[in-house]
Structure 1
Amino acid sequence: MTQDSADVIIVGGSLGGCMASLAIAKMGLNVIMTEETNWIGGQLTSQAVPPDEHQWIEKFGCTSTYLEFRNRVRNYYKSNYPLTKSARDNELINPGNGWVSRLTHEPKVALQVIEDMLSPYLNSGRIQIRLNFKPVDASMIKDNITSVIVQHVYNHIKVELTGKYFLDATELGDLLPLVGAEYVTGAESQKDTGEPHALEEANPFDTQSITHVFAVDYVEGGNFTIEEPEQYNFWKKFVPEFSDMPLLSWYTVNTKDTTKLREFTLLPNDKGIPSLFTYRRILDVMNLKENLYEGDISLINWAQNDYFLGSIIDVSTEEKEKNLKNAKQLSLSLLYWLQTEAPRLDGGNGYPGLRLRKDVLGTEDGLAKSPYIRESRRIKAVYTITEHNVSRELIGNKGIHSYFDSVGVGSYHLDLHHTTITNRAFYIPCYPYEIPLGAFLPIRIKNLLPACKNIGTTQITNSCYRLHPTEWNIGESSGYLAAYSILNNIDAHVVRQDQSHLSKYQNLLNKFGIQIHWPESLDLSGLTEEVKTHNSP
C-alpha cells in the first residue's frame, strides 16, 4: 500500500467535491480528490441529470462559480458548435430546449467545463484527482480522522491518504460509516424531527428511489430495438401500489396531487399531451445549422424508471448489487417498452426509431456511469434543517427563514420521490432557503465535513436541498470552511461558535462570490410552481 498526503482529502468527485477542491485550491492549499468512476461532476456528468433550478438562477440565488459554469456551458456551444444565427445570438441559449431547465446540455460538455474550471490548479498540482478509487477504511485518533484508505475499483491497489481535514463528497455518504460518524438514513419519525410529514415510526431503509438514466436519440424510420431485457416481463406487468396503472405506461403520479395520475406521451403533438422526450432533451437539432446529429438527444429520467423496490444504503453487498441490477433492468425495460409496445397517439405501438446512445454517457451498456442518487447518509449535525424551516405552509407569511450562520442560498420545493418501504411521495411548495453552517458540523468528529447531499437535513428537507446549485454551494462553502480552519489553526466548530471567526469566514464567502442571504427586496408573491412530472431530479 502506498501513501499520499495533502492539506485536505476529499472523498468523492461529486459536484460538491469538485467545488470544494476549487475553493481549497484558491486558498493556496493542496487537495487530493478521489472519485469512484472515471468522470468527475456527479449529477451533471456520471449520473446524467440536467440541472433543475429556481426562477432567479440567471441572475442570482447561487454562487458566482455556478453562474460562471452556466455561462461557460453556453459559450462552449457557441464556440464549438455550428449554431444557427438565432441560437448564437441568444444570450440565454438552451442547447437542448428541454423543459425541465433553462439550461439542458450534454453531460460531456458539463465534464469538459468543470475540468476547465479546475485546470489551473490541476496543471499546477495543487489539485490531484484519483479516478476509479473508492474509500474502504479509515483510521481515527479520538475524535479526529488521521487517514483514509482508498482502493482502485479495478486493480484493487490501495492508497492511504492523510490530511488535516477530510471532506465526504460521495453520493451516498460512504465515508461516514468508515470513520464512525453519527448519521441518519431513510425516514425519521415525527418524534425525531417534529415534522408533520414525517413517519410515525422511523425507518432507516425507507429511502428515496434511485434512477439509472440513459440517453437516446430519435431517428424517424429507424429501427434500433434492443434485445429484450432479462426482467422485461416482470416490469411490463408491474403495477405499483400507489397506482392502478402499470409502471411502464404513459400515466404517472401528479406532482400537485399525488392521489391522481397525469397522462404523457413521447413526442410533441397538437393534442396538448406533454412530451417526455423533450422534458430532458439535451440537444435540439433546431439550434444547429448543419446536419451534425441525426436527431435530438434526450436523457431518460422519468417516473417510469424510478426504482423503489429496495435501498442501496447500509444493506448487504448482495442486496445492494441486486437493487443496482434491478434499477438497470427497469431502465432497459422502459426503453424496450418504448421501442416495441408504447401506445402512440396515431393508434400504433412502439417507437423503434429510439436509439440508445452509448457514446453520450461513455458506457458500454448505454446507461449512466452511476445511478442518480437523491438521498444520502446524512450527518447528525449541530443543527438539523427541518420542514419547519422551508415549507410555505408551515412558515406562513413570515417569509424566508434566515440564519445567523448562513453560508449560502437555494430554492426548490419539497419533492420526495416514492420511497422504498412506504412508497410515499409528495410535492410541497417552499420558500427560498438559506444553508446554515450548523448543518455542516458533525456532533462529534472534529475534522470531518460534508460536501454533498450529506449535510444535516432530514429526509424531507433533503428533498429540496439535493438540487445541483445547492449541492454546488454546499461543496464550495465546505471547501472554504476547511481552508479557513487550517489557515487559522482552529476547529471548524469554532468558526460557528466565535462571532469574530464567523464574520471573517462569511466575509470570505462574500469575497469569493457566495451569496449567503436572499435580498430583502425579493418579491415572493410571484413564486412559480412549474408543472413537471413527478420526476424532477
Structure 2
Amino acid sequence: MLLTEETDWLGGQLTTQAVPPDEHPWIEQFGCTASYRTLRDGIRDYYRRWYPLSERARSARYLNPGEGTVSPLCHEPRVAAAVIDAMLAPWTAAGRLRVLIRHRPVAADVDGDRVHAVVVEGPDGDRVELAAPYVLDATELGDLLALTGTEHVTGFESRAETGEPHAPAEAQPDNMQAFSWCFALEHLAGEDHTIDKPAEYDFWSGFSPEFWGGNLVSLDAPDPRTLRRYPRTFVPNPVADGDVVADQSLSAGDSDLWVFRRIVSRRTLSPGLVGSDVTLVNWPMIDYFLGPLIGVSDEEKAKHLASSRQLSLSMLYWLQTEVPRPDGGTGWPGLRPRGDVLGTADGFAKAPYIRESRRIRAEYTVVEQDLSLEVRGERGSVAYPDSVGVGAYRIDLHPSTGLDTYIDVGATPYHLPLGALLPVRMENLLPAGKNIGTTHITNGCYRMHPTEWNIGEVAGALAAHCLDRGVAPRQVRAQQSRLEDFRASLVADGVEVVWPKLSGY
C-alpha cells in the first residue's frame, strides 16, 4: 500500500489545516469507527504521557487539552500528527505501507473505466508514476476526479435535479463554500508583536458584503442559524471558573472567540509552565469567498490563496492595532503568532481549511430530504440498506463564492450509504473524503472529521475486500450476500453501520 501527502504531515483538516474536530454530542460513547476512537484516545494519552498536566486536567475523564468550546477534544495539530504517525508505524515498519510526503498528483494514466497509474510530483519537481489495482482519492479538492476524467459535480446542483428545498432553481457549479487560512495566537502582555501592515489591509478592513451587514474584519458576524448579526467577544487569556462546556448541540460556542478554538490552556498544564493560552483563529471573519479553488487556472487559484492569507493577516493586524478593548483602548499588540504549534514559521496552518470538494457522480447521491430534520422529523434519517457508517452534524454551509450567506439546517443523525462511494462509471477509483456522492447541501454535514475518517476507512476496506475476494466494488453493493459479507467485516473491525435509537430522533 502506498500513501501520498502534499505536505509533511498526515491528517488533513485535523493537522495541516489546524481545525480541531467538529463532532456530535455522543462522540465519547458511540457514533464513530473504532480506529477514530483510537485516534481520540491516543491524543489524550499523548498529553497524559508527555505533558506536565495540572492535577485538575490529569483527573479529567474526558481531557480537553485546550479547553476550547468547539469540541471536547481541542488540541494542538502537531499532537494529532504524531498520533497518526504512531498508528501507522507498525505497517510502515513491516514494509506494508509506504508514505510519500510532499508529493501531489499531477497526471493519471486512464484506459476506459480504469485508472492504471497516477503520476505524483515531489518537492524537487521529480515525477513518479504509481500503479495499483485500486486508487483512492483523499485529496482535499478531489483532484484525482479531474485528472482521471471521473464524472463529478461542483457547487450547487439545481432543485430540479435534487428536489432539495434549499437548492437554487438553476445549477451553480462555480458557487462553492468559503475556505479559510487558519492561524494560531498567544498573548504576551506588555510586549509588542505587531506585524507589518498587510498589503491588502485597506481593502479587507473596509470590505462589507451586503449579506454580512457590516465589515468582515470585525468582532461582529451573522448567527448562521438566524442570520442576525451579533457581536462576539475577544479578550486574551480570560480567567475561567468551572468546567468548559463543549457541546455544539447546545451552543455554537463562538461567542467568546479566544476560548472558541483554544488549543493550549494554561489551566491544563502545570502552574507557571506557559505564560499564555494559544488560540486557533478559524472564525467566520476569515472565511474567503471571493473566488473558488476549483475550475480556475493555476494563476487564479494562486491569487485566491494569496488573498485568503491577506484576509487572515488583516484580521491579525486589526486585532493587534484596532480592535476595541474592554478598558476603552484599542488593539492587543502582545498578540504573537505561534506557527510552531502548527508546524510552520509564520503562524499559518500548513494548508487552507477546505470545506468543499469536487464530488463524484455516484450510484447513490445523498440529498437534503434524506436527513433534514424539517423533512424527516421523528422518522430520523433514511436507513440505507447499504449503510457502511454513521455521522451526525447540522447541515452547516458557510458563505459561498456566489456571495450567498449561510445555509444552516437541522439534521438528524445520518448514515453513510455504500452507493455514495461508487462512481457511476469508473471501476477502480474510490472517493475517500468529502468527494463522495453528496450534494452541495449535504456536503455541509458529511464533511466533518469523524464522518470523513469513516469514509476513508470504508473506502480502504472496500478496496482490500474486493482484492481478497476477486470482485468489483459495485458487485459488493449489487449482490445482497456480498453486501452482508462486507458489512459484517466492517462491524468486526469496529465500524458502526447503524445508529442506536436516540432519544429525540
Q: TM-score, normalised by structure 2?
A: 0.95
- Is 1:253 the counterpart of 2:230? The answer is no
| Contact 1:308–1:423, Cα closer than 8 Å, also in 2 | no
Instruction: For residue 501 of structure 1, report the CA deviation from its aligned partner.
Output: 0.7
For residue 77 of structure 1, the aligned residue among 40, 47, 55 is 47
Q: Structure 1, residues 452-480: CA drift from partner, whole Å, max 9, x if none?
A: 10000000000000000000000001110
When structure 1 is superposed on structure 2, of 355-364 and 279-288 the one drifting more is: 355-364
Partners of 2:134 and 2:144 in 1: how far apart?
13
1:266 corresponds to 2:225: no
Alignment of 1:26-425 (within 5 A): 31-152=1-122, 154-258=123-227, 260-267=228-235, 268=238, 274-425=255-406
Rate the CA distance shift 1:47–1:436 in 2: closer, same or farther, 3 A: same
Q: How does 1:492-507 map to 2 (within 5 A)?
A: 492-507=473-488
How far did residue 362 of structure 1 move? 1.6
**1: CA distance, partners of 2:310 / 2:148:** 34
Number of residue equivalences:
491
The answer to whether the 8 A contact 2:372-2:381 is kept is no
For residue 466 of structure 2, the aligned residue among 485, 493, 497 is 485
Which amino acid counterpart does residue 172 of structure 1 have in structure 2?
L
Tell me, yes or no, if the aligned pair for 2:323 and 2:332 is still in contact at 8 Å.
yes
Structure 2 match to 1:531: none
Q: Would the aligned equivalents of 1:452 and 1:471 in 2 still touch at CA under 8 Å?
A: yes
Amino acid at match of 1:424: T
**Runs of 4+, deviation exceeding 4 Å:** none
**Equivalence for 1:16:** none
Q: What is the CA-CA distance between 1:400 and the residue it aligns to?
A: 2.8
Please give the alpha-carbon distance, in whole angstroms, between the structure 1 residues aligned to 2:182 and 2:403.
24
1:139 alignment partner, SS class? strand
Code of the aligned partner of 1:243: W
Residue type matched to 1:483 in 2?
A
**Structure 2 CA distance for aligned equivalents of residues 387 and 61 of structure 1:** 20
Amino acid at match of 2:179: I
The amino acid of 2:376's aligned partner reads I
1:252 shift after superposition? 0.5
Q: Which residue of 1 aligns with 2:248?
A: none
SS of equivalent to 1:484: helix
CA distance in structure 2 between the aligned counterparts of 1:292 and 1:34, rounded to whole angstroms: 37
The offset of 1:440, in angstroms, is 0.2
Alpha-carbon distance in structure 2 between the residues aligned to 1:76 and 1:514? 24
In structure 2, give the amino acid aligned to 1:329.
Q
In the alignment, the residues of structure 2 paired with residue 390 and residue 353 of structure 1 have an alpha-carbon distance, to the nearest angstrom, of 46
Instruction: Find the aligned partners of 1:433 and 1:71 in 2 and give their Cα distance.
Output: 24
Cα distance, 1:348 vs. partner?
A: 1.1
Match of 2:503 in 1: 523
How far is the alpha carbon of 1:241 from its aligned partner? 1.6
Give the distance between the partners of 1:397 and 1:265, measured in 2 at CA. Answer: 37
2:243 maps to what in 1?
none
Q: Say whether the 8 Å CA contact 1:409–1:517 is kept in structure 2.
A: yes
Report if the CA contact (8 A) 2:7-2:350 is conserved: yes
Q: Tell me which amino acid in the other structure corresponds to 2:183.
A: F
Give the Cα separation in 1 of the matches to 2:36 and 2:106: 31
Shift of 1:269: 8.1
- CA gap 1:273/1:172 in 2 versus in 1, 3 angstroms: closer
Is 343-352 or 442-451 further displaced after alignment? Answer: 343-352
Query: Would you say the 8 A contact 1:82–1:290 is kept in 2?
Result: no
Contact 1:265–1:344 under 8 Å retained in 2: no
Measure how far apart 1:220 and its partner are.
2.0
Contact 1:363 1:369 in 2 (8 A): yes
Deviation at 1:243, TM superposition (A): 2.3
Please give the alpha-carbon distance, in whole angstroms, between the structure 1 residues aligned to 2:447 and 2:167. Answer: 18
Which deviations, in whole Å up to 9, do the C-alpha atoms of 1:273-320 show, x marking residues without a partner? 932011000010111114332210111000110000000101011110
Measured after TM superposition, the shift of residue 203 of structure 1 is 1.2
Compute the displacement of 1:399 (Å): 1.7
CA distance in 2: counterparts of 1:413 and 1:262, whole angstroms: 21
Aligned with 2:210: secondary structure?
Answer: coil
Cα deviation for residue 112 of structure 1 reads: 0.4
Q: Which amino acid aligns with 2:158?
A: S
Distance in 2 of aligned mates of 1:275 and 1:124: 47
Post-superposition offset of 1:199 = 1.1
Question: What are the within-5 Å matches in structure 2 for residues 443-482 of structure 1?
Answer: 443-482=424-463
Distance, in Å, in 2 between the alignment partners of 1:106 and 1:369 is 13
Separation in structure 1 between the aligned mates of residue 212 and residue 140 of structure 2, nearest angstrom: 30
Would the aligned equivalents of 1:376 and 1:454 in 2 still touch at CA under 8 Å? Answer: yes
Question: Greater CA deviation, 292-301 or 376-385?
Answer: 292-301
| Corresponding residue SS for 2:226 | coil
Q: Look up the equivalent residue of 1:356 and give its one-letter code.
A: P
* Paired position in structure 2 for 1:433: 414
C-alpha contact 1:439 1:455 (8 A) present in aligned 2 = yes
User: Gapped runs of 5+ residues in structure 2?
Assistant: 241-252
Q: CA deviation at 1:200?
A: 1.2
CA distance in 2, matches of 1:179, 1:57: 36
Could you tell me how far 1:66 is from its partner in structure 2? Answer: 1.0
TM-score (structure 1 length as normaliser)? 0.90
State the AA in 2 paired with 1:427.
D
Q: Does 241-250 or 231-240 show the bigger shift?
A: 241-250
How far has the Cα of 1:397 moved from its partner? 2.5
SS of 2:453's partner is helix
How far did residue 191 of structure 1 move?
1.0
How much is the aligned-residue C-alpha RMSD, in angstroms?
1.3
1:210 CA drift (Å): 0.2
Q: Secondary structure at the match of 1:350?
A: coil
C-alpha separation in 1, matches of 2:225 and 2:423: 35
Q: CA deviation at 1:91?
A: 1.4
Q: For 1:262, give the aligned amino acid.
A: Y
Aligned residue for 1:234, secondary structure, equals helix
Corresponding letter in the other structure for 2:291:
G
Q: Distance in 1 between matches of 2:225 and 2:156?
A: 22
**For 2:213 and 2:410, how far apart are their aligned partners in 1?**
26
